[in-house]
Amino acid sequence: MSLKGSTEQSPDEIRQAMIDAHLPYIEEAGRQGVQVLCFQEVFTQPYFCPSQDRKWYDAAEEIPNGPTTQLMCELAKKHKMVIVVPIYEQEITGVYYNAAAVIDADGTYLGKYRKTHIPQVAGFWEKFFFKPGVSDWPVFDTQYCKLGVYICYDRHFPEGWRALALNGAEYIVNPSATVAGLSEHLWKLEQPASAVANGCYIGAINRVGREMPWDIGEFYGQSYFVNPRGVIEKEASRDQDELIVHDMDMSMVREVRNTWQFFRDRRPSTYTRLTDGN
């Protein structure tokens, strides 16, 4: 979805505009029988990280007690739908995370994932806004599947995909805010490669449009589902607000993992170089 309203508005006003814009799509997802729904990264706000403006700290809210998570709990229960809710999280005043709440199909809050890898490069001053998350790579045993979450820049790091898969994830969502340029070439490479390496489905979600006054580039949409063989099965448009719905054959997870046996043939005792701190 594109940004609704103006970045000159308050974070509360923008949040309401974005919620209002999403509600018809959530209702449509319910009508179509969607079982697992995910929004884009920090879906209630602009991607404000091209700035270093403290105004955007006011966009953070608690998980699960904040208004957005509580509303999504109600909607998840209403539609019997798992909802992944990527928002700007406040733990306490001054401690903020890029996070996603996971809500089960009965409206139960299951937990959250906090973005692990935080970029700090021109146009993406995320360390100004987000503390790095530290987790044991949670996998949520939802009513419909074992679900993992990885957020935007995380996708460039193969270790987290593998950790989520080893913890049992069959489907991993990657809510993003990524613009045309270097990353667009990688958009169709990294998630399919990670799906193959880990024998899982991945849902890659991106926002659309341009966001002023920063205009760091075009958020190029093209959200998609990729299967455990690395085949993109369905893809959204580049520039339209859109609900993309797709059926996934989860038996393929078992079939592909039993065929390739990557998990059996791993040699973790030889990988200590990956964690020696250098």
Neighbours of 217 (CB within 10 A): 16
CA distance 222 to 208: 9
User: 115, 145, 146, 190: which one is catalytic?
Assistant: 115
Place of tokens 């973005």: 115
Q: What are phi and psi of 208, to 5 degrees?
A: -130, 160
Centroid of chain to Cα 278: 29
What 3-state DSSP class applies to 58? Answer: helix
41 given a catalytic annotation: yes
41 touches 152 (CB < 8 A): yes
The DSSP symbol for 267 reads: -
User: 4, 41, 89, 112: which one is catalytic?
Assistant: 41
| Amino acid letter for position 254 | R
Place of tokens 């006003």: 13
Structure tokens at 16: 């309401």
Residue 55's nearest CA partner among 65, 43, 45, 63 is: 45
Residue 207's nearest CA partner among 11, 93, 40 is: 40
User: 38, 73, 152, 200: which one is catalytic?
Assistant: 152
113 touches 130 (CB < 8 A): no
CA distance 25 to 34: 11
> What is the per-residue burial (b if ≥16 Cβ within 10 Å, else e) of 7-46?
beeebeebbbbbbebbeebbeebbeeebbbbbbbbbbbbb
Instruction: List active site positions.
Output: 41, 115, 152
